Chain A
């Protein structure tokens, strides 16, 4: 096959319906070529037994939680699948779905795939789907940072158990999710089809309508607020300055930047460039074919934990002005 194999990460808090969703996705012909890695925290793995599909391309990562103890096991499992596919020892697979444990922070798994010296040549992260339990999520959002990290990392939020919660509670939850992660699509899990599950994050024109207002923030009752906001920048920005700025921001504050996602209007480029990252991990920038609407402005959505929006904006603008000033002066190679 050509190019790195896409990896889809499925996450969500304990009991939020990850396995149920994955099981339904795997029944779809579009997922017929998917290998599956299931990470379960506990002595006896059960989730993979529930998938109704047991062959060599279903692998259970069972020695602990994906975000701490089994990162090596994830890497080993993906490498083993790659080698065995090359040798024809397992059925051919064209993508991989990884189901994490309910307690896992998605970032280490994404980072392993992005940064492992061998894996990064054979696999690429293409999207994070997070299941959100409409009954229990409102309480979790107040108390569990893991749940917020999972929601912040998502490209698609799949609402589960919506039939068990009052409609008003579901609509409150949707509004709250939109303020935590305005760049993610929100769907009820029953509406999520395989094509939604498989949509590549970079192929979507981010961010959506709800994120266009500057400083559209959501504030939470946790001790330190998790908030989201969008920067909108009218004039074209300098790619070099942006790269050094975001690198410095994530180096210093990466654990508190749950998500950054945006489209950039770069100096010298007709087409927009999409950038998205989770904590310290930034995916390869994507050159989009066209602008999502008539406005050619850069729009960057941040989901941050306890960081000052005004300082982020002031810092971004200072870097951009400085980089453009240096570019205007001219640089000799």
Chain B
């Protein structure tokens, strides 16, 4: 159970680690958490748009990934994002693919 919102399941990705002494996280308070979540969505969507996918959050506890044809995938943890996105796009997101790097460099 998520200790922050009290619902079953939660995103325990390392970029949003539980706030503990010594741990770097934006999970320390609600405002910082929401701000970081919005930033993450914006950057992820810039990357996903190269394959015409769109990510949104549902109730702050799940992610919904949608294709232009209306297919959707729902998952709870950010660690699932790229494997789900690769499956929905029909080919994996490979950050070491030179053509993908070029498409990221072209994002304005």
**Chain A residues at the B interface, C-beta cutoff of 8 Å:** 3, 120, 202, 239-241, 243-245, 247-249, 251-253, 273, 275, 277, 282-287, 307-308, 311-312, 314-315, 318-319, 321-323, 325-327, 331-333
Contacts and interface: CB of A to CB of B under 8 A. Distances in A.
A322 B107 contact: yes
Nearest to A124: B20
Given A120-B12, A322-B43, A333 B95 contact: no
Contact of A253 (B23, B25, B96, B105): B96
A283 B46 CA distance: 26
B39 A285 contact: no
A326 B43 CA distance: 7
Interface residues of B, number: 41
Interface of B: 12-15, 17-18, 20, 22-26, 34-40, 42-44, 46-47, 78-79, 81-83, 86, 92-96, 98, 101, 104-105, 107-108
B96 A315 contact: yes
B44 A244 contact: yes
Contact of B78 (A120, A247, A307): A247
B35 A311 contact: no
Contacts of B108: 325
Contacts of B46: 322, 326
Nearest to B82: A251
B40 A240 contact: yes
A253 B92 CA distance: 11
Given A244-B40, A247-B81, A252-B93, A284 B101 contact: no
Contacts of A282: 14
Contacts of B81: 247, 251
